[in-house]
Chain A
Amino acid sequence: MKEKFSNVYYDDIGFLTKNLVPGIRVYGEKLVTYNEEEYRAWNPNRSKLASALMLGLTIIPFTPSSKVLYLGSATGTTVSHISDIVSEGMIYCVEFSPRSMRDFIGNAKMRNNLVPILADAKQPIEYAPLLETVDVIYQDIAQVEQAEIVLRNLPFLKKGGHIMLCIKARSIDVTKDPNEMFKKEIETLSQAVDIVEIIDIGQYEKDHSFVVGIKR
C-alpha cells in the first residue's frame, strides 16, 4: 500500500483512507488491515471524489489539519473519507435535507472533526457565526446554479484556498446542450477562481465532471 497524497492511500485495486474510528463502517465499505492499522476502502461508485481519483485527479488539497466547508454532505459518504484525511482539521458540513441530516449526525458524533449544519447553501449568512475561515470548499449539491452557490460561499475561503466541485451538466437545464451548460458554469466560477483541473467522471456518474480551482 502506498501513500499517494497526504493520508490518502492506494493498493492496486483502489484508494483507501485510514479509519479515524476503527471498527466502524459508514456506508458498508470494506475494511482492510495493513501493518496493524485499519483502512476504509473508498468506493468510486459511491463517492465522486474517489471516482475522480480513480480517473487520475492530481490535486488533493487536504492536509491533516485542513479546515473544509463541505456543501451538500448528504448522509456523509464522501465526508467520512475527508474526515479520515483531515484527521486534526475540521469539516463544516452543510446539508438542507432534514432526512439526510438525521442519518448523518449519528456518524458525525463519532468523528470529532465534523460540524453538522442544517441550512441552505444559498444562504451562507445563516451559518456564518458557526464558521471560521477554511482552506478548502468542497461542493456536491447536484442542483441548478452550482457555480453561483460556490461563489456565494467564497468569502469563507482563504485567498489561495481550493475549491472542489462536482458539476452535473444535466441538472442545470435539461433543455440545453450539456457542453454549453458546463462551459457556462466554468465561466461563472472563473470570475473569482482559477480553474486548475477538470476530470470527466461520466464513467462513474453520468454527465458529471469534477472541477478543482484556486481562489484568486
Chain B
Amino acid sequence: MILITSLMGFALLNFEAAVEKVIPFEKNATTIAEMLLSLRQGIFPSDLQTLEELDINLCDDPTIADHLSCRQLPLEERTTYYSMIESQIMAYTQTSSEELSLLRREVSFLLVEKQLKVAASSKDLSISQAINAIDELDQTINLFTERLNEWYGLHFPELEKLVGDNVQYCTMIAQIGWRDDFKDDRISAAAKTSMGVQISGKDMHIIQCLAKQVVDLGKIRESYTSYIEEGVSAVAPNMTALVGPLITARLIALAGGLKNLSKKPASTMQMLGAEKALFRHLKTGAKPPKHGIIFQHPLVHNAKYWQRGKIARTMAAELSIAARIDYFSGEMMAQGLIDKLEARVNEIRKKNQYPPRKKNKGRGRKL
C-alpha cells in the first residue's frame, strides 16, 4: 500500500490509487504540529506504531519511510495522488474546506514557532562556544603581545607605553615596523630618542609575522563579538535588554545553555562565574564573594562597595525572571523588568547612603 501524509490524517492507497483506509488525526493543531515537527527532525513518533503493522510499500514522508524501511514516494507522484484523494480524506474525517485552510494556517504557525524555539535552543550552545573562544583569543593575544613587547622592544621599547591597546600596538608593528617610519608626532619624537638598538631587516620581518597573527586574531575576535551580539538578542532578548549581550552570553555559557540557566535560582545567578573566589572562601576562609560575572555590569561595578551586594542580588533576581521568559516564551517584555530594577536600585541607594560604621573605631584618628 501507499501511505500519504495529510493534515487530517494518513491515507492508505492501493496500487489502483483507491483509498483503502484513513487513519485520522485528532483535530488539534498543536498535536499535529508536534507530530510534523518530530517527523521533520527525523524522529519517528511513538504513537505512530500502528503504522508498523500495516503492509506499506511506499510512503511520502522521509522519516516514516526510513523507519518502515520502505521506498519513498517522489514528490511528483505524491502531489498527483493527493489531489485525487483530498476530497475523500475530507469526507472521511468530516473536514470542510474552510476548516482545512484554517487548520493549515494554525498548524503552520505552531510549527514555525516550535522550529524557531529549537533553532534558538541550539543557538545558545553555539554562543557559549563563541564566548569561550573569545576568552581564549584574549589569552593568546596577551601572550603574543607580551612576547612582542620584549622582542620588538629591542628596537623600539618606548612604543608599548604610547599605545594602550594590544591589537593596535601589533597593527603598528605589522604595518610600520621601523621606528623611524612613524609619522605620528608623539611617536616619532619618542623614536628619535629611543633607547632601542638597530636590528636587521630579517629580524624585523620575523617580528612582523607574529604581529600580523595578533592583528588577525583581533579580527576574529571582532567577528565573534558581533556574532554573539546578534545571536544572543535572538536567543535571550529579555536578558540582553536587561544587562547587555556579553554578560548574557557569559551567563548562558557558565550555566551550560539557556535551559539550564532558566532553572537556576536567583542566588545561583548572582554567583555564576565566582566559583574561584567561592572555593578560595571555602578553603582558606577568605571573604566570601558577593557576586559573579554580573559584577562586570556598571550598575554593580560602579556602585559604592557597601551597596554592591544588594544591587547584585536585585539584578540577579530580575535576570532569573528574564531567563525564564526567554526560555519559555521568548516574548519581549523586558521594559517592566528594567523599570523594576531601576526602582529597586534607586531605593537601595537612598536607604544606604552612608557606609556602615562598624569595626573601624580607630580609623578617624589615624588620618
Contacts and interface: CB of A to CB of B under 8 A. Distances in A.
A126 B7 contact: no
Contacts of A129: 5-7, 36, 61
Contact of A155 (B78, B108, B234): B78
A117 B75 contact: no
A109 interface: yes
A102 interface: yes
Interface in B150-190: none
Contact of B115 (A98, A114, A152): A98
B76 interface: yes
A115 B75 contact: no
A115 B105 CA distance: 5
Interface residues of B, number: 31
A130 B109 contact: no
Nearest to B100: A132
Contacts of A133: 79, 83
B107 interface: yes
B112 interface: yes
A116 B116 contact: no
Given A125-B75, A128-B60, A133-B83, A98 B119 contact: yes
Given A124-B75, A128-B79, A133-B79, A117 B60 contact: no
A109 B119 CA distance: 20
A105 B115 CA distance: 12
B62 A101 contact: no
B101 interface: yes
Decide if the interface of chain A is mainly helix, strand, loop or mixed.
Answer: helix
Interface in A115-166: 115-118, 124-126, 128-130, 132-133, 152, 155-156
B5, B6, B105, B119 — most chain A CB neighbours (10 Å): B105
Nearest to B97: A132
A155 B107 contact: no
A126 B61 CA distance: 8
B40 interface: yes
Contacts of B112: 101, 105, 116-118
B39 to A, nearest CB: 9
A129 B113 CA distance: 17
Contacts of B75: 124-125, 128, 152, 155
A192 to B, nearest CB: 11
Given A98-B119, A114-B105, A128-B79, 7 more contacts: A99-B234, A118-B112, A125-B60, A125-B78, A128-B75, A130-B7, A130-B108
Interface of B: 5-7, 36, 40, 60-62, 72, 75-76, 78-80, 82-83, 86, 101, 104-105, 107-109, 111-113, 115-116, 119-120, 234
Interface of A: 90, 98-99, 101-102, 105, 108-109, 112, 114-118, 124-126, 128-130, 132-133, 152, 155-156
- 7 closest residue pairs by CB, A with B: A155-B79, A98-B119, A115-B108, A155-B76, A118-B115, A129-B5, A155-B75
